[in-house]
Structure 1
């Protein structure tokens, strides 16, 4: 099992990253909550990982903190929740927001995530309520990755943001419309994705 990677960040194309670890390039998927805290391309970083082995692939997922990985593992244990949906949930909601939604049994927070209807949201909230009792004392502010910053660099544009939203499960029309609704100019793809996700209700 690969539990952690430390290396040079070679590529950031949400939701994918490429990390050079002693000359070996690891292709990893990460939720947007982790992307927001990654350093610039070319800098060193550490991520906590979860390996999923299937008959046709070995998939590696990366997280900024151990608790994010723990949350991911709790989500994929739920009936009907695979890695893709778990990443979408963790991209649409920060960890603290997701925990608060579970505590408040707020279905609207979950239904804005692609692939989650009202009935699915209600079921997930019920199943997660007991599991999250141990999470109630989590600090409200996430700690940035070493060498990183909470403010993403403007490294790409609208096309990358739309592509990333489609990868997270949104329809092309939804993704394009969400990004187009952001009127501020000069934003990087990661900030565009963040704002688009917040605007999708």
Structure 2
């Protein structure tokens, strides 16, 4: 199991990135909440990782903080929740927001995540309730992501990358395009466009 990687961030194509570790490029898929916190290209970053081994591929998932990785692991243990849905949940909701949804048994936020209907949301909340009891005793674990600025990029590329990222999370291309087009500020990085689009769709 690859548990942690530290290296230079050489490529960022939401929700994928490439981390150069001593000359070896690791392709990693991350939730948007991790993407928002990444440094600029060329800078060094440490990611906590989880490796999923399938017959046709080895998939590496990365997270900025350990609690984020633990949340991912809790989610994929649930019946009917694979890595793609887990990333969609964690991209739409911060970890602490997801915990609050479980505590309040609030289905409304979960049903806004692509691929989650009312029945699925209700089942997830019931299954997660007992699992999260241990998390409640960890003060300061669920800090909100800071609103750090992203690296400047060309507008067309940023918008295209943002739409592609939303589609990869399960949104329909028309929904993704409409959400990005609705953002008036066109001088944003792809990460900031994704963040605002997800908030708008919530």
TM bucket normalised to smaller = over 0.9
User: How many angstroms apart in 2 are the aligned matches of 1:119 and 1:166?
Assistant: 23
- Determine if contact 2:94/2:144 at 8 Å carries over to the other structure: no
Pairing 1:1-201 to 2, within 5 Å after superposition? 1-136=1-136, 137-139=138-140, 140-142=142-144, 150-155=148-153, 156-201=157-202
Q: Provide Cα deviations, 1:43-102, integer angstroms capped at 9, x if missing partner.
A: 001000000000000000000011100000000000000000000000000111111111
Quote the offset at 1:142 in angstroms: 4.6
CA distance 1:197–1:43, change in 2 (3 Å): same
CA-to-aligned-CA distance 1:133-155 (integer Å, 9 cap, x gap): 111244242577xxxx8332233
The change in CA–CA distance for 1:26 and 1:195 in structure 2 (over 3 A counts) is same
Query: Distance between the aligned counterparts of 2:116 and 2:63, measured in 1?
Result: 22
Unpaired runs of 5+ residues, structure 2, are none
| CA distance in structure 1 between the aligned counterparts of 2:128 and 2:148, rounded to whole angstroms | 28
Q: Is the 8 A contact 1:37 1:151 kept in 2?
A: no
Q: CA–CA distance in 1 between the matches of 2:139 and 2:125?
A: 18
Q: Using CA pairs below 8 Å that are at least 6 residues apart, which structure has the higher relative contact order?
A: 1
Tell me if structure 2 keeps the 8 A contact 1:9–1:19: yes
What is the rounded CA distance, in whole Å, between the counterparts of 1:154 and 1:125 in structure 2?
39
5+ unaligned residues in a row in structure 1: which ranges? none
Alignment RMSD (CA, Å) = 1.4
Aligned 8 A contact 1:114 1:170 in 2:
yes
Q: Is the 8 A contact 1:48 1:66 kept in 2?
A: yes
**Aligned partners of 1:165, 1:87: CA distance in 2, in Å?**
11
Q: Using the TM superposition, give the Cα deviation of residue 199 of structure 1 relative to its aligned residue in structure 2, in angstroms.
A: 1.1
Q: How many residues align?
A: 197
Matches of 2:6 and 2:43, distance apart in 1: 11
CA displacement 1:5-27 (0-9 Å, x = unmatched)? 00000011110000000000000
